[in-house]
Chains A and B, each alone.
Chain A
């Protein structure tokens, strides 16, 4: 009897749901890591998105207030799908912010079937451009980054022999594929390709294998806390060679790491001094967080702004804000003035932007090569 009552109580809690508060706001969704080892990214992306919402509401860009429903993906594909199902089926949002290559690949079919738009501002796997019409990217994907990095490292800086340490997940594998293709093309050689499990934390023996391979440069393709650990343990174990990575090195855990000094990494070119939107975002971000904004901040700010602009256009033509209509609108006019300049969507829903190369200097990083378009 006691057990049945317990069950009934739990069922009642289920039922007594506050169905989402009176729908007086326009809601979009966000499927970001809010817990787990990658929660720092979710926090960063979410804060940037919220800043955009603040500006949109302050400038009264839409007829109603905009708000974001955050769901926790924990940066794992499985949880990401569960969260996406909730956003799509329960919250019924027309537009979702996504992050992480693995998660994005998993949630894309869900969005595709439900005709809900997903926008990625952090994941970089080139596969992300092939996830269907309803999956868009506002971040240049890693193939563009590598196409700029490889010639720079090999030809301009003379690092011919490259050892790669890459994480065992779609993002790491995408980078490995790109490097394998582009480094020889630039005249260099991959002397080692070491794959590490996602939760690995011991790299002393990996360092030994790297030393054995005798490279000029070590390329690290990981993310989160692991990439910082790799850098630290490489340096601790006698690897003195130049380090390089992709845009994930712009994370503070790496830029603030003393052992990472001198490492090279690409990011999309963002001129934070440019008058107008960029300047405003930089100023407000600094005021809120006390830190300089980075490319990720721009991307998630932009992602929300893309929605706002498209929704504005739909409202003007009295169309309902649905995923289908958002897609149609984007196809009709895919060019937006955003942080970093004018952004133009390619037909496959991704963007091409100038890439700059930076060096870690203990501060925010200094640019060593200005914006180049990947060929």
Chain B
């Protein structure tokens, strides 16, 4: 029964990782920007939710709504004020990466200064688990996280394949100039990518606030995992990023079956390292992604 319990825990964690990874992959896939500050969107959304819900006492739908707005605004600002100016110059990978990193450092420390470096969480009856089978405990929030992840991903896939802006986003990653031919503005499409990519982290952020709690470094941690998930799943594939996130969440928990807890985080990075050496394209990545 322990194994099954670890699988359920892994799925819950994996759902959160999957959502964030998909956001990152969407942005990278559409705009080719390595948005390392993605974790900062997570941190901002999470803390805003906590603050408005727990400290100010707003109802959770309102708090969640505010968190979404904040994440989206953050993503858009990054695109407009940081990435676009850099890309006007020449937009080397290096420059974009460093700038994003710089923003992530700033956000992490600002949050620490404003909200404290200790750790906070949102108390809710949802995190209290129920025994569904002898020895198997599932918390409502776990089930919720998995359901939301599935819905989110399905909705996103539908959007990308059926709507105009969605299709434009997919086209953007292949050939930006062709988009102009069709009368669309690549800048606009990029903004949509950033907006959606950033918004999709909010459910994960809220669930993390409810279960494990937050500290200012939580975004950086989530970012690392999203990065690993995107690569393991395959750059350019949203499906890959989602599965990658799920896989890493499972790996982190299943590792506890046989290993000591300290090694469970290391497992994630061993997996990442091995994939990069032996299969940089990941599970679903396009073949030319490797050198």
Whether chain A touches chain B in the assembled complex (some CB pair under 8 Å): yes
State the A residues within 8 Å of B (CB).
35-37, 39-40, 168, 194-197, 199-202, 204-209, 211-212, 224-225, 229, 232, 236-238
- Whether A212 contacts B2 by the Cβ 8 Å rule is yes
Interface 1/0 per residue, B1-40 and A, CB below 8 Å: 1100110010011000000000000000000000000000
B residues less than 8 Å from A211 (CB atoms): 135, 137
Q: Which 6 residue pairs spanning A and B have beta carbons closest together?
A: A238-B137, A208-B5, A201-B212, A225-B119, A202-B212, A212-B2
Distance to closest chain B CB from A141 (angstroms): 25
- Whether B119 contacts A197 by the Cβ 8 Å rule is no
B129 in the interface (beta carbon within 8 A)? yes
B261 in the interface (beta carbon within 8 A)? yes
What is the bound-complex CA distance between A101 and B268, given in angstroms?
A: 30
Given contacts A37-B118, A201-B215, are A208 and B131 in contact (CB under 8 A)? no
Interface 1/0 per residue, B131-151 and A, CB below 8 Å: 100010101000000000000
What is the bound-complex CA distance between A206 and B9, given in angstroms?
A: 10
- Whether B256 contacts A236 by the Cβ 8 Å rule is no
> How many of chain B's residues have a CB under 8 angstroms from any CB in A?
29
- Whether B215 contacts A236 by the Cβ 8 Å rule is no
Distance to closest chain A CB from B42 (angstroms): 15
Given contacts A39-B118, A225-B118, are A205 and B211 in contact (CB under 8 A)? no
- Whether B118 contacts A40 by the Cβ 8 Å rule is yes
Interface 1/0 per residue, B242-268 and A, CB below 8 Å: 000000000001001000111001000
- Whether B6 contacts A205 by the Cβ 8 Å rule is yes
What is the bound-complex CA distance between A193 and B217, given in angstroms?
A: 28
B213 in the interface (beta carbon within 8 A)? yes
- Whether A206 contacts B261 by the Cβ 8 Å rule is yes
List B122-169 residues whose CB lies under 8 Å from chain A.
127-129, 131, 135, 137, 139
What is the bound-complex CA distance between A229 and B12, given in angstroms?
A: 18
B286 in the interface (beta carbon within 8 A)? no
B80 in the interface (beta carbon within 8 A)? no
Contact partner, B262, options A195, A204, A232, Cβ 8 Å: A195
B residues less than 8 Å from A194 (CB atoms): 260-261
Contact partner, A205, options B117, B129, B256, B262, Cβ 8 Å: B256
What is the bound-complex CA distance between A196 and B262, given in angstroms?
A: 6
Nearest-neighbor residue (CB-CB) of B125 within chain A: A236
Q: With a 10 A CB-CB cut-off, give which of A37, A40, A168, A195 has the most chain B CB atoms.
A: A37
A residues less than 8 Å from B265 (CB atoms): 197
What is the bound-complex CA distance between A195 and B139, given in angstroms?
A: 24
Distance to closest chain B CB from A234 (angstroms): 11
- Whether A202 contacts B118 by the Cβ 8 Å rule is no
A residues less than 8 Å from B253 (CB atoms): 205
